[in-house]
Chain A
């Protein structure tokens, strides 16, 4: 029986939704916030450096406030967005940073996207799709009448060329799409055929697969790196106009967009590397939107009636990750002690100022397969001490912890974690490391640091860190039962059977304390109060196609 592309069939089961709703409500979230949960961070999966390991939250599902006024009849006005760093790459297949991806999301589109509530996949450049029973074949029906910004026609051939490009040997993220045979014999249909089941294609297509114009890719797409790096031509609501190196990127509304026409005439992305300078620029009226403000800055911005703070949950998790085959964390009791030692509620309240939600699952609500494990570890220092004694650690347990320097409140949170761990008998020292040094240490067979804390972005909306084994690999976690369950998840098509397998894997994970989820950060963006219909996605792909500035007509 083939799966249809109707959204119902690809949504989590009702039971899973209900369980998540109860969990979210008990965590103090409203129904609206739960439905619009979104998180994104652009951190890498184990296999990917910065891309899949979340570093600070990115992208929010955007609760947004009720829109005021109506959109202008024609694209009007300029929206100035503050970027946290210079543009590294606008190649949709390799871009990693929040800023780069905000630009890319405006220029490029993929075959699928998420619906407005970020609960299910929705049509984009493909109007519908079928997945075979065994998830070896995906057939996408392409949208008619779509043109690229340079006038080229969007068809199956364009899709095939793009996948030839993204699957080139030097692309670091091509593995997200497996090794399909792509059939573009019908210009309106593209068929992906795999030798083994590949159920995650749909979700993975929301990532690193923005479709570039075939004119840019030329006749040898696999060698089109330089062209794609220079020319940014997609089908999105905005077209690339210019870049001033290190300074700004300008996009203009694309009148020929197949969907809802953009309401803003010009987007200007300005590079302001220093965070407090970005906030000052917003307060001074020099920019209109700042992505990812810190909790303390958000608190002060809320009191300014000219500004609005957009807060919503993200699809990322902050994790404390022990190296499970190195002392002392090779003993599960020590890992349990670690879990009991952490007072997550205090950190969220005092340091994050309430801008995160507690969660015991492996990944946040809203991610396909979300399941709250039966085993949970509430703050219990006494139990932690007892467990360490039982494990034979009568004195102190030396532990070296590392954290990425670009994590939100890296120093402050790591100090809190150190204090809480040391209060139960660990002798923890912590170092804040440059991101590349941090990632390099984690990938060593014997890392220098036995404990890491980091954020992970489940940016595809699916459990891809689970199926790719990223977190487990970085924690050196091996459990035959867990590994077998994950191996089955990888090849099981979406549906109740897969959800059961994921739930079982999460239960084993929680029991073993392979790593712990500390909290689910919220995404905080700040803008002028007149920016309407702003909805940041749960992943890092900030969409501006339907936003407008009231009073700008």
Chain B
């Protein structure tokens, strides 16, 4: 499947550089494996979007076009799904993506102070912004499902429990 062959690839935007498709080689093999696990191609959409994000760090318009092609969906449909789920990034984020739980159970145990400490330590000026050195993006998330271990944070795929403002510096230093 070549990029640009499908409906909507590069739609409405001047491509700065040529899009390199995700679903070649090993990723293509993973896709074929996925097709055996679901009775429809459409059902492979969430796992396919995860593969794209793993490979590229975010899900671009061109990637949406490619996903639509391989799953025989329209780009508009794919975009509707991408934007429904908060974990898919529709724009590039820092090298390390930090998600902090601030829902009530963590909130009453001091989660907002953890957010402040993370913003300060990473140099991210505000929630959702990427630090000037491109290292971090910090966002607040709703309940991470580890309420007995306040405050839990996710740094990329690392789930870290019992974070306090004092521990933030040490955690941030672990990520280049």
The answer to whether A and B assemble together is: no
Chain A residues at the B interface, C-beta cutoff of 8 Å: none
